[in-house]
């Protein structure tokens, strides 16, 4: 489980491109709510991807997810810290999962943001299980992917209703 106590941000975040990316392109260096800032950092990536054909978005999302698992594992080993609270590449991946084939528009971006943050924080089953039992880069990313799946389902239900 992620340690939410204040952890010093390694200087390497500003020197090593791998560390910079794993720390949410620097958004994880914010001294409070790094996961929220990491999710905000995901919005420009979503906006760049939102007009892709669904199959292209999905294939790119799979590639980003796998690369993120590898990268977070590497940076975690480099910094000798499992799932540092500032490593918020997982929030970027989770938000991109949330927004897969979502309706376009500012309100849906906000709804997706709120849903993803809710599930990432509350961690209903099996998210909490994955967060505590799956180690390495896979575990760091997979719990946020699951939070994204929960959010994805709800955003699509809401879009169907409204």
Supply the pLDDT for residue 3: 47
State the DSSP string of 90-110. Answer: HHHHHHHHHTTTPPPSHHHHH
Q: Does 2 score more than 60 pLDDT?
A: no
Look up residue 55 and give its two tokens: 């199959």
Q: Give the angle 130-58-70 at the CA atoms, nearest 5°.
A: 50
- What's the predicted TM-score (pTM) here? 0.93
Q: Does 4 score more than 70 pLDDT?
A: no
Residues 6 or more apart whose Cβ sits within 8 Å of residue 132: 1
Q: Does 80 score more than 60 pLDDT?
A: yes
Mean pLDDT value across residues 49-54: 98
Domain ranges across the chain: 11-161
CA-CA distance, 28 to 84, in Å (whole number)? 9
Find, among 1, 9, 16, 78, the residue nearest to 38 by Cα: 9
Residues 6 or more apart whose Cβ sits within 8 Å of residue 101: 54, 57, 156
């Amino acid at each position: 489980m992620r340690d939410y106590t204040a952890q010093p941000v390694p200087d390497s975040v500003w020197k090593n491109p791998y560390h910079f990316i794993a720390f949410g392109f620097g958004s994880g260096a914010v001294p409070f709510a790094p996961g929220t800032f990491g999710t905000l950092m995901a919005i420009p990536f979503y906006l760049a991807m939102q007009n892709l054909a669904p199959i292209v978005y999905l294939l790119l999302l799979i590639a980003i997810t796998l690369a993120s698992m590898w990268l977070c594992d590497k940076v975690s080993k480099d910094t000798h810290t499992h799932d540092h609270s500032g490593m918020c590449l997982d929030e970027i991946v989770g938000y991109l999962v949330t927004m897969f084939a979502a309706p376009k528009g500012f309100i849906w971006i906000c709804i997706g943001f709120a849903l993803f943050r809710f599930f990432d924080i509350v961690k209903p089953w099996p998210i909490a299980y994955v967060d505590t039992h799956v180690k390495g880069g896979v575990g760091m990313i997979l719990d946020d992917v699951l939070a994204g799946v929960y959010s994805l389902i709800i955003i699509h239900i809401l879009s169907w209703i409204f």
